[in-house]
Amino acid sequence: MKTILSILILTFLISFGQNKKTELNGKYYSVDNDFEKWSIMELKVNGVFKYKYGLGACQAEITGTYSVENRKIRFKNDREFTENYLESVRDSLIKSDSTYFGIGIPIYPDLSLTKWKIKKNSIKPISEIDCGCIVEKGKHKKR
């Protein structure tokens, strides 16, 4: 009897977590989007995100995973969008060809540094996110 009850509770908890991600599924557009400035967060059911942002010609797209804890979203960038990875790539290029010495590495925001609050039909970073060309701090509404 305890085994059956344990299985039911475990199934309920797993399905509850999946429902939260299903509810969040979709694209969220910054309310501060402008003619040339924009920020879009796409959350997928499988716990994967895609974040796109830009200001004029300064544009980027990063991917990673997310999890939900207490009405807050925690993000983790994919490895290729982390500072340590980019620096190691740059260092290996410099070792193979010294002409790469003056080349800087791209700046990607580390989304793991801040959580995002979940509201009724929107999400919002708790603190500012420095994307290099823009600083994002506004609400993103689901469309």
Give the per-residue pLDDT at 39: 95
43 contacts 28 by C-beta, under 8 angstroms:
yes
- Rounded distance between C-alpha atoms, residue 118 and residue 20, angstroms: 11
Residue 54: CATH number of its domain? 2.40.128.360
User: What's the CA dihedral at 88, 91, 97, 101 to 10 degrees?
Assistant: 130
Is 9 buried (19+), middle (13-18) or exposed (0-12) by CB count in 10 A? exposed
Domain carrying residue 83: 2-142
Report, as an integer, the average pLDDT of 9-27: 61
Residue 7: the pLDDT is 52
Instruction: Kindly report the backbone phi and psi dihedral angles of residue 11, in degrees, each rounded to the nearest multiple of 5, phi listed first.
Output: -60, -45
Rg of the chain over CA atoms, in angstroms?
A: 19
CA-to-CA distance for 105 and 75, rounded, in angstroms? 22
Number of folded domains that form the chain: 1
Q: Mean pLDDT lowest for which of 37-41, 51-55, 114-118, 128-132?
A: 128-132
**Comparing 99 with 118, which gets the higher pLDDT?**
118
Read off the pLDDT of residues 75-90 as tens digits, 9 standing for 90 and up.
999 988 887 756 666 6
Average of per-residue pLDDT values in the chain: 81
The pLDDT of residue 132 is 84
Higher pLDDT among residues 23 and 98, named by residue: 23
Answer yes or no: are the C-beta atoms of 142 and 121 closer than 8 Å: yes
For residues 94 and 70, which has the higher predicted lDDT (pLDDT)?
70
> What is the pLDDT, as a whole number, of residue 51?
96
- Look at the pTM and tell me if it is higher than 0.85: no
Confidence of residue 52 (pLDDT cuts 50, 70, 90): very high
